[in-house]
Amino acid sequence: QTSVTESSSSSSSIDMLRLKAPAIKNMDKLYQVPLQELDCSFDTVSLKSKSSSLRKVVQSQAKTNGADVTVVFAIRYPSCPSCREHGLQLTELAAKDRKMVLLGAVKDGATTANDSTTKEAVLEFYQNYFNGNPIYQDSSMGIYSQALGDKKYHPVAGMLRVFKALKRYKRGQICVGPVCAMESKVLGGALIFDKHGNLRFVYEEKVGLPFDMQAIAEAVKETRSQGNTEMMASD
């Protein structure tokens, strides 16, 4: 697949990613959001493990992978070409930064929906747009509410931006996935954690626009610096 690391025309400043309400207000609740890892092997989707809190998942994955930054991509809708583009952008960043671990989160339905197209959509995302990075089910949609404010996109404006981006998706070999039973309106985004599992930055999704990868890369760099400084200060 061709590179899709294209930044949006918005400012590359990381100021727009700095923590604000609701993430600051709901931090304790956010850290306790229960997640279950999905097993996407053998062309099926099932629950791989018992639930664990978001913070424990982040800390465990960072330790296992020797990472000092963890990015959690809250996927709005795995069939959406905009979400698939964002997945590819973050995958590219993770491939370049070996000290960063990338995780995904999806809403309820990955293993409970009766229709096969929901599992098919998650599998396509996992295999083709997320490079096999771990994906967790957020059945309570706690990440979307506690960190991202449970915001919904305007369908007309969002679909208009997606329509304008069709040529870009074609260049990136990004296809529209099957219609599935997952909730599709509540916006996702990217959460950036330091090596201790502390949330440092939140990037809110804008449907139809690519992620500003320069801003995200700057946020990852600052998160790494902050995490290492705190470790040195505590020694």
Q: Quick one: pLDDT at residue 12?
A: 53
Q: How confident is the model at residue 117 (pLDDT cuts 50, 70, 90)?
A: confident
**Predicted confidence (pLDDT) per residue in 168-183, tens digit:** 999 999 998 888 888 8
Q: Quick one: pLDDT at residue 13?
A: 81
Percent of the chain scoring above 70 in pLDDT:
91
From the list 186, 212, 223, 176, the residue with the least C-alpha distance to 6 is 212
CA distance 105 to 88: 15
Q: Which residue in the block uniquely carries the two structure tokens 């409970």?
A: 112
Q: Quick one: pLDDT at residue 235?
A: 40
* Strands 69-74 vs 100-107: parallel, antiparallel or unpaired: parallel
Q: Quick one: pLDDT at residue 231?
A: 57
Helix then strand count (H, E) for the chain reads 8, 8
**Helix or strand run (H / E) with residue 201:** strand 199-204
Q: Quick one: pLDDT at residue 165?
A: 95
Asked whether 136 and 166 are in contact (CB, 8 A), the reply is: no
Residue 232, CB half-sphere, CA atoms under 13 Å: how many? 6
Asked whether 84 and 129 are in contact (CB, 8 A), the reply is: yes
Q: How confident is the model at residue 232 (pLDDT cuts 50, 70, 90)?
A: very low
* DSSP, res 188: -
Question: Among 4-18, 64-78, 100-114, whose mean pLDDT is lowest?
Answer: 4-18
Q: Which residue in the block uniquely carries the two structure tokens 């069939």?
A: 79
**Predicted confidence (pLDDT) per residue in 40-90, tens digit:** 988 889 998 789 999 999 999 999 999 999 999 999 999 999 999 999 999
Report angle CA 139, 118, 61 to the nearest 5 degrees.
Answer: 50
> C-alpha distances in angstroms, 85 versus 1, 58, 60, 217?
11, 23, 27, 17
Q: Is the pLDDT of residue 7 over 80?
A: no
**Predicted confidence (pLDDT) per residue in 134-177, tens digit:** 999 999 999 999 999 999 998 888 889 999 999 999 999 999 88
